[in-house]
Structure 1
């Protein structure tokens, strides 16, 4: 589930919704999202479009494309932003500005859970931690969960060769430069590695997720 792309900047624009503003990609993209009912084909997260956010923060992706861009409806699938980010970690764990906390996420070691399970759990945790007041009964649980997942970064160095503590950017750049004959090694090295999102980066998306998906769910009253 973890992967790299040939053009991190392009993949990042795609994941953040730039495809919907591109006339050569938007019609195909919306056809894919509508066909898949705005449901992530990896983790199962279900969004919905609105007048203001017509893509529901979902992404049309061709997982066989080196940049994730899909130009044919039949070759694309609908993914949530978190699952799409996991396929482009040389964008999603790299700082977007000089701010140390500007990366969309980080790498964690958690082989007990698939990336799909982590993505669906993360969407709920982010929607909660970013948007409900500290007095809400779910806020404390979300905060504890964030601490636990973030704590798994400390296990990366002990379990992944060539990884150095807190050096996500160096690691993923090295991964993206590996020649094809080393892909088997790469797959083995990444077997227990997962992408975990940065709540601050996904604040806008998580606010939408809360309003569009979770707010009427049991426990949010």
Structure 2
């Protein structure tokens, strides 16, 4: 429950990008938070990522299906404990297929590159503790241009959706709340994007979650 008089409306902040507010119900959110806790446990659990520049990301990350590291994918946690990456859960694949239909409609899928034969096989789960953020970047380690499905849980955040050429303007700032679905594909698939800030203690206490969780589901195009 948001306590708002009118529901927030679906929007298209950029070509191929669709925001569907409150897409996940309360039960689905609780189930996903519980699943994230299981995925975060070692081996191949949640870890802090160090960039090639020596910088340390303020989010903590766990991967499913393929392990993301800067800037590639592997079958083991090459920048952590070396364990095999956890399997990609079929239920996340089913959820991502539902998400594409919710975003584009059953007929609109045909107009989005990679959507008609979408085969997701990666999930990257990021935990944002209070004060964490993520700089503008592009998800370009995948070998296909299938859409990215992004699910928000916990604290609200300011998500910045930029352009495909540079990290500078133009960009659009969106508020993402717990339960929101954001899909970016088509012309926005390789847009720069990031999280400017989170809003601490805005999550529903019933979630039992401190900070923000973001689950992104992708298709790798890898063998």
Q: Report TM bin, short chain.
A: under 0.3
TM-score by length of 1: 0.28
Considering fraction of residues, name the structure with more helix: 1
Considering fraction of residues, name the structure with more strand: 2
